[in-house]
Amino acid sequence: MDNATRQIISILVNNQPGVLSRIAGLFSRRGYNIDGLTVCATEDDRWSRMTITVCATQNTVKQIVAQLEKQEDVVKVMDLDPRGVAARDLLLIKVAVSGAARSEIVDLCTVFGAKAVDVNPDSMMLELTGSTDKVDSFVKTLAAYDIIEMARTGGAALERGSGSLRESAELN
Amino acid sequence: MLTSGAKILVSCLEEQGVRNIFGYPGASILSVYDALAVSSIRHVLTAHEQGACFAAEGYARRSGHAGVVLATSGPGATNLVTGLADAYMDSVPLVAITGNVPLAQLGHDSFQEVDIFDVSMPVTKYGIIVKSASEIAPAVRRAFALAESGRRGPVLIDIPSDVLDCSAEYEPAVPERPSPLLPDEEEIKRAAELIARSSRPLIYAGGGAAAAGAEDRILELSLRLKAPVVTSYMGIGCCPPDHPRFLGVLSDINLKAASAMAECDLFITVGARFNSRYGAFGGLKKRRTPLLQFDSDRAEIDKNVPASASVIADAALALDALLPLVREKDEAEWAYDLLPDSAQENRGTRIIRALTRELGDGVTVTTDVGLHQEWAAHNAQVRTPRRFLTSGGLGAMGFGMGAAIGAHFASGDVCLVITGDGSFNMNLNELTTAVKHHVPLVVAVMNNNALGMIRKLQTARGTKGSAMSSLYLGVDYAALARAMGARGVTVTEEEDVDEAVKNALDGTLPVVIDFRIPINTGI
């Protein structure tokens, strides 16, 4: 049977008002759950890029892509093969910490490749970029301490190699 | 030449060849009405914006070209929503134009302000907010191109009132006619192979076949394969009702079609989707019956029932490419004509048969939604597409009156509205529109004093008592029709039906015939 797995869909859309709401509306209307969503400008100001992470079966992803492709404001859709992409989330996390625990946190940062962006007598703010799994496990590790608050982005993802969505849109 | 936004809008409608539009004025759209007054376009004022939207739909369904509806901001715009949803579900080309409050007042909860762009988003193919007069012409041209291309559908253009009063350069342009979607050779080859392997194919024609004018090709395919044909509500007219290979419209009361579906070894759909209204599609999936799907929308493939092969193209072009690859069979390999018949007959079905026979092939039939819709779908003697207009996907009661008025303006046809007392009550206000514009309507009210379909559903689920399905309003529809300036007739006894039918067209139209039928008819 077709099992649900995490998939990344990359969409090049016209950069104009209402597009985000139209695409997000399509997902909610058709009952597709969004795990993560990142919208950003692109190298070409006519277009924006939406990177949407979903947990879905292959069949559902096919349906999502077909529904997206018929949207007037969608220039190109690509269902990214997780093995062939670089995908990163960004995490900012504030931890209450003082005394001896501080050096433990610094050690953890070294292990995960995180950076301290703000240090106070009784707290630290840390920054980590990495795959969703890596960011998840960093948060899980820090849960042993006192997490004050955190902010985390959806994924940004690009296919490895020299190709681009724009290029494949123009080829079509 | 520097031209006002409202004039640009109307000129762009003229560019598209629009002759009739339907609408209702209001403060935010008055500039357009000023421009319409000096244009070549006839504006039909309806009683309600919902009636206007259904009229624009009727116009589009009958003619194949985009219907146009005009409404003001706020309540005018929200009253369009049911019609837009109906057009979206049934893939009807429509351009809806709404005025809005001035740009500076947008977002301030101004008087009669509604964000119709967002409200209509899930029920339109596309929406455009126009924020300067120079954007009007491109927006209108794009709206028509989108509404009429690929899988057709409604497009909304929302224009703040001060944008209509600003000026911009206007250059007339020749409208681009969207070219129909061509089939892929490989897909056609796979379709032909699947057909060659089948011995009991069944053809299912829907709205996509009717919209593409593919009815002759459907009959040719049926002849070559000796395959029976069924249609959806939207596909009615793709096969004449008395055709020897026609097994009727798919619905829960058509047992013959259901048995054919259970026995076929290839189900060929042409421009039809798998709607949840019809339970037997589940059986198709369960039995893993091979499915060959022709559709102009790739997103319809594998959506509800997995397809074995598919062709994404205009239905007529796809069948043109397919037919030369299909080998003719000498005779059918299954006795589908011996499958059990289920023709349900009651006073309502007899009235509908008699009326459509009497009015002949030149009549356009519209329906509302309820038991009468089912009776009409199975019994109206409609021989060509675009002459049976019904709310297929949305199932919107109140559709028939507006749709018939629009269909008349598209064709000049006499239109027969088959309705019930429940549905007629929803939009009978449009009888005033028909009277004012001398629209030749025959409105046949199947008056069973009940919401018959609801009563049938409640009976099936064992609901005690009438639970809102009994109406007994005691309305004298004939007198009401006369009060509105139409002719009115009441038919109480079965033996008077024939005479009333014969006299339907004798005398002034519109006419409302109140057919009193027993409350439990067809339940």
Q: Backbone phi, then psi, for B21, in 5-degree steps?
A: -130, 160
Could you report the predicted ipTM of this complex, rounded to two decimals?
Answer: 0.86
B141 touches A: beta carbon within 8 Å: no
Task: For each of the domains in chain A, give its residue range(s) and CATH number, in order of start.
Answer: 5-80 (3.30.70.260), 86-156 (3.30.70.1150)
Nearest to B42 by CA among B58, B56, B26: B56
CA distance B100 to B369: 32
Q: Is residue B120 within 8 Å of B38, Cβ to Cβ?
A: no
* Pairing outcome for strands B309-312 and B229-231: unpaired
Contacting residues of A for B125, CB less than 8 Å apart:
72
What's the pLDDT at B386? 97
**Rounded to 5 degrees, what angle do the CA atoms B164, B169, B171 make?**
110
Q: Assess contact for B75 and B426: CB atoms under 8 A.
A: no
Which residues of chain A make contact with B118, given a CB cutoff of 8 A? 18, 21
**Could you tell me which CATH class the domain B2-169 is placed in?**
alpha beta
Using CA atoms, how far apart are residues B434 and B417, in angstroms rounded to an integer?
12
Structure tokens at B29: 């759209």
The encoded tokens of residue B512 equal 């409302």
CB contact under 8 A, B146 and A72: yes
The count of other CB atoms within 10 Å of the CB of residue B275 is 17
Instruction: In whole angstroms, give the CA distance from residue B409 to residue B18.
Output: 12
CB atoms B302 and A29 under 8 Å: no
Alpha-carbon gap, residue B349 to B376, rounded angstroms = 7
Question: Two tokens at B266?
Answer: 């290839």
Interface of B with A in 449-488 (CB under 8 A): none
pLDDT (tens, 9 = 90+) of chain B, 523 residues, equals 899 999 999 999 999 999 999 999 999 999 999 999 999 999 999 999 999 999 999 999 999 999 999 999 999 999 999 999 999 999 999 999 999 999 999 999 999 999 999 999 999 999 999 999 999 999 999 999 999 999 999 999 999 999 999 999 999 999 988 889 999 999 999 999 999 999 999 999 999 999 999 999 999 999 999 999 999 999 999 999 999 999 999 988 898 999 999 999 999 999 999 988 787 888 888 999 999 999 999 999 988 888 999 999 999 999 999 999 999 999 988 988 888 777 789 999 999 999 999 999 999 999 999 999 999 999 999 999 999 999 999 999 999 999 999 999 999 999 999 999 999 999 999 999 999 999 999 999 999 999 999 999 999 898 887 778 888 888 999 999 999 999 999 999 999 999 999 999 988 889 999 999 999 998 8
CB-based contacts of A149, cutoff 8 Å, min separation 6: A93, A94
Nearest Cβ partner of A66 from B117, B118, B298?
B298
pLDDT tens-digit profile of B37-84?
Answer: 999 999 999 999 999 999 999 999 999 999 999 999 999 999 999 999
User: What residues of B are in contact with residue A70 (Cβ under 8 Å)?
Assistant: 150-151, 297-299
User: Residue holding tokens 């019956």?
Assistant: B289
Q: Which residue of B has its CA nearest to A74?
A: B126
Interchain CB contact of B115 with A (< 8 Å): no
Q: Where are the domains of chain B?
A: 2-169, 185-338, 347-516
Question: Which chain A residues contact residue B298 at CB under 8 A?
Answer: 66, 69-70
- Upper half-sphere CA count for residue B364 (Cβ side, 13 Å): 30
Same topology between domain B185-338 and domain B347-516: yes
Tell me if B367 sits within 8 A of B400, measured CB to CB: yes
Tell me, yes or no, if B386 comes closer than 8 A to chain A by beta carbon.
no
Mutate to test the interface with A, among B116, B155, B303, B305 (most CBs of A within 10 A): B303
**Could you please report the per-residue DSSP string of B426-493?**
HHGGGHHHHHHTT--EEEEEEE-SB-HHHHHHHHHTT--S-TT-B------HHHHHHHTTSEEEEE-S
Mark yes or no for CB contact A25/B121 under 8 Å. Answer: yes
Query: Looking at residue B19, what DSSP letter applies?
Result: -
The CATH code of the domain at B185-338 is 3.40.50.1220
Residue type, B228: P
CB < 8 Å to A59, chain B: 302
Distance from CA of B30 to the nearest CA of A (A): 27
Residue B70's H or E segment, with its range, is: strand B67-71
- For the domain spanning B347-516, the CATH number is 3.40.50.970
Q: What is the DSSP annotation of chain A? A: ----EEEEEEEEEE-STTHHHHHHHHHHHTTPPEEEEEEEE-SSTTEEEEEEEEEE-HHHHHHHHHHHHTSTTEEEEEEE-GGGEEEEEEEEEEEE--TTHHHHHHHHHHHHT-EEEEEETTEEEEEEEE-HHHHHHHHHHHTTSEEEEEEE---EEEESSS--HHHHHHH-
Predicted confidence (pLDDT) at residue A171 exceeds the cutoff of 80: no
Residues of B in contact with A22 (CB under 8 A): 121
Distances (CA, A) of B267 to B153, B272, B289: 26, 12, 7
CB-based contacts of A27: which residues, under 8 Å, 6+ apart? A33, A34, A52, A54, A64
